[in-house]
Amino acid sequence: MPCHNDNEKYMHRCLELAFQGIGQVAPNPMVGSLLVHKDLIIGEGFHRSYGEAHAEVNAVRQVANKELLRHASLYVNLEPCSHHGKTPPCTDLILEKEIPRVVIGTPDPNPLVAGNGIKLLRENGVQVTLGVLENECKDLNKRFFTWHLHNRPWIILKWARSSDGFIDLERPASAPIGPNWITSQTARILVHKWRAEEQAILVGTNTVLKDNPRLNVRDWTGKDPLRVVIDRKLRLNSSYHVFDNSGKTLVFTEKIPAPHKITEAAEPAKEEIVQEMKPDPSNMPSGNRVSDRGKTRYAEIIFDGTAELQMLKLLYRENIQSVIIEGGAYTLNSFIEKGLWDEARVFTGPAFFRNGVRSPEITGNRKESRMIDNSLLEIFFNT
């Protein structure tokens, strides 16, 4: 029987495998799995893409001699599923292959699983070891856990500030549209990598008016996030990149516009069901409604002291497990002041603005600090 240190060694490998699914598996969790026989890994796999085979299935498929499964230990960072979704339950596969021992990092918070997989395995004689590197396993799937346990997405704030503490210059109405770059191209590539890892990206009206951002991952390989724009008074028109139909856009406004005011958009794509368990609409604030117009959708909220919470509830209802908020200063501060953030990624570049729009101030646990070319990157957690 593997010792405690062996369990941790193999669970570390599960986490390495699982992380390869980042940006591809949501709203499912990232899961890695491996099979060990006599201290040798005989099969390993991870969940590669939403709707495809789970990690345990891929690990079993890689085992050349299936007879060894009856004498092997299966390692997985998240409790095996025990319900029918887009794929059959992994617990059925484990029992079918007569795998005698399963080592699990953490239980699954999804109410459709939530200990049922562990219970089923034990009731059928499988030896289950639970809680190996549990904190690391939860951290890997912090988006998934936050969505299920707190009914909202994981919230990442991101901005860049000049060396003298400004997020932007003061710009007159006649100023050219476009960003005032503070960081290097390398930092911008990293930001696009981050975008590919999250399901949504949110900005306010002024950011669109001043910078006309695309909010995509053109400098990286991966899925474009859902573009979310706060446009309370519908000041934005179809000339901005966020309405270019290259991807989906969700607009938060105080009143859904008449059809003739809707941004011209392509025909609506058939919406796929992205989660077996849909959030309960009764949890939504009263007055919320969503209007579909092709790839641009409008969500009506009440712009009072609960506006940010309403946005998060609507994103939860849309199965969005993570959102990166890129500004501007007013939008960032509105989430910071209400404590509605989990992680902040802040660049400080060499630019010296002397005056302009003051950078938000953040207090939290600084987890990381490193140089990206000529800019300092600091990462904070709201703990």
How do residues 26-79 score in pLDDT, each as one tens digit?
999 999 999 999 999 999 999 999 989 999 999 999 999 999 999 999 999 999
Beta pairing, strands 249-253 & 226-230: parallel
Is the predicted pLDDT of residue 265 greater than 50, yes or no?
A: no
- In this predicted structure, the answer to whether residue 327 has a pLDDT above a threshold of 70 is yes
Helical packing angle, 329-337 and 307-317, nearest 10°: 90
Which of 87, 104, 74 minimizes the C-alpha distance to 28? 87
Quick count: other Cβ atoms within 10 Å of Cβ 84? Answer: 11
AA identity, residue 361: E
Mean of the per-residue pLDDT values of the chain: 89
**Active-site pick, 44, 56, 197, 300:** 56
Cα 204 to chain centroid, rounded: 20
pLDDT at residue number 311 = 97
Q: Please name which of 122, 1, 116, 131 lies closest in space to residue 76, comparing C-alpha atoms.
A: 131
56 is catalytic: yes
Task: State pTM to two decimals.
Answer: 0.88
Pairs from 313-316 (Cβ < 8 Å, separation ≥ 24): 313/151, 313/152, 313/283, 313/284, 313/285, 313/288, 314/252, 314/284, 314/288, 314/290, 315/152, 315/153, 315/200, 315/228, 316/147, 316/151, 316/152, 316/153, 316/279
